[in-house]
């Protein structure tokens, strides 16, 4: 895996400081995540590589090479001691920052497309074909399978303080799940095409979804009401993230653009438009302080954008 090296690309954008560009992946980068302390950025993609970068300098800290297929999802544990990554058949868990293999989990019938740790770190959740799966952590024992009528869940997130999860599904719906009994408590007909990404807002009351219909939407989960909607990305919205303070939404899509929106208020145009990728933007992540946004793309790069306060 010595092919993963760092180069810096200082490309001009009219909307923000030139991003720090991380080169090295040999294929599309499908997932990106910040460690809880903001020290590291992890990336993974269809080249089967998982890389850990030092966020401040962009230098490669470690490359993990245990996957045999493309990697679709990443998630740090809340304490930052572990990084989980998934291809379609296996979830690998790595120690951070050593990169040593900690555990391999076979997701049974699930083809894994999304990963998240619960806020307390006691569960690892996976979204994929067949619905959602939950494993206890750190022992990695199968805890529960949640499927209901959902054939494919592309993404998931946990509520911050209660035992519920939200998933974005291939049929265009957003679903709220009760972790205790495994039942669906609410189904929202969210998009006319597949939901590619979904994330909880820090307030624990709203979720933001990105659909292949090009729209990014904000939902109040208590009653399923649509709170806000942005015509974000012609051709399809594929990534979404909410800033830690809950004030900004970042979206990415097939048009290769990263857009930053205010969480509240009707908007026809984004507050920021970041243009530096040459391919679809597949994943986004805010740093814990909200001042840096990481974007991952089919152009094989990860970019770190300085947004300021």
Architecture of the 101-306 domain: 7 Propeller (2.130)
Residue 87 vs residues 32, 48, 94, 104, 207: alpha-carbon distances, Å: 14, 8, 14, 11, 25
Residue 264, token pair as written in the block: 């509240």
Q: pLDDT digits over 107-157, tens only? A: 766 789 999 999 999 999 999 988 899 999 999 999 998 888 888 999 999
- Is the confidence at residue 208, as pLDDT, over 80? yes
What SS3 state is found at 299? coil
Over pLDDT 90: what percentage of the chain? 85
Residue 181 vs residues 128, 143, 144, 156: alpha-carbon distances, Å: 19, 11, 9, 17
pLDDT at site 201: 98
- Is the confidence at residue 182, as pLDDT, over 80? yes
Domain positions in the chain: 101-306
Q: What whole-number distance in Å separates Cα of residue 103 and Cα of residue 198?
A: 27
What SS3 state is found at 273? strand
How many Cβ atoms are within 10 Å of 98's Cβ, its own excluded? 12
**pTM for the model:** 0.92
CA torsion angle for 202, 206, 208, 213 (degrees, to 10)? Answer: 180
Q: pLDDT digits over 240-287, tens only? A: 999 999 999 999 999 999 999 999 998 989 999 999 999 999 999 999
Residue 287, token pair as written in the block: 């740093």
Which residue, among 276, 282, 288, 260, has the nearest Cα to 8 in the 3D structure?
Answer: 276
Which residue, among 92, 133, 96, 155, has the nearest Cα to 283 in the 3D structure?
Answer: 155
Residue 228, token pair as written in the block: 């806000």
- The pLDDT of 175-181, averaged and rounded, is 94
List phi, psi (to 5°) of 218. Answer: -110, 130
Q: What whole-number distance in Å separates Cα of residue 70 and Cα of residue 88?
A: 8
Residue 277, token pair as written in the block: 């990728």
């Amino acid at each position: 895996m010595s092919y993963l090296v760092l180069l810096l690309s200082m490309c001009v954008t009219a909307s923000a400081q030139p991003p720090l560009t991380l080169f090295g992946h040999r294929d599309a980068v499908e997932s990106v995540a910040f460690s809880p302390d903001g020290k590291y950025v992890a990336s993974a993609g269809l080249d089967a590589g998982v890389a850990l970068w030092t966020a401040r300098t962009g230098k490669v800290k470690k490359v993990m090479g245990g996957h045999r297929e493309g990697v679709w999802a990443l998630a740090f544990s809340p304490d930052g001691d572990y990084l989980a990554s998934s291809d379609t058949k296996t979830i690998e868990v790595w120690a951070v920052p050593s990169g040593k293999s900690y555990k391999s989990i076979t997701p049974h019938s699930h083809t894994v497309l999304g990963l998240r740790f619960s806020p307390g770190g006691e569960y690892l959740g996976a979204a994929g074909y067949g619905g959602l799966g939950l494993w206890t952590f750190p022992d990695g024992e199968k805890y529960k399978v949640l499927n209901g009528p959902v054939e494919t869940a592309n993404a998931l997130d946990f509520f911050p303080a209660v035992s519920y999860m939200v998933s974005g599904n291939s049929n265009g719906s957003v679903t709220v799940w009760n972790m205790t009994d495994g039942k669906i408590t609410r189904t929202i007909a969210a998009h006319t095409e597949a939901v590619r990404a979904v994330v909880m807002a820090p307030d624990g009351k709203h979720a933001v979804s990105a659909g292949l219909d090009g729209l990014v939407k904000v939902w109040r989960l208590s009653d399923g009401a649509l709170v806000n909607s942005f015509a974000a990305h012609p051709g399809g919205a594929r990534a979404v993230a909410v800033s830690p303070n809950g004030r900004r939404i970042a979206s990415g899509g097939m048009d290769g653009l990263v857009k930053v929106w205010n969480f509240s208020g009707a908007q026809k145009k984004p507050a920021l438009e970041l243009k530096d990728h040459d391919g679809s933007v597949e994943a986004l992540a805010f740093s814990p302080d909200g001042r840096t946004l990481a974007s991952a793309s089919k152009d094989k790069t990860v970019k770190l954008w300085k947004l300021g306060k």
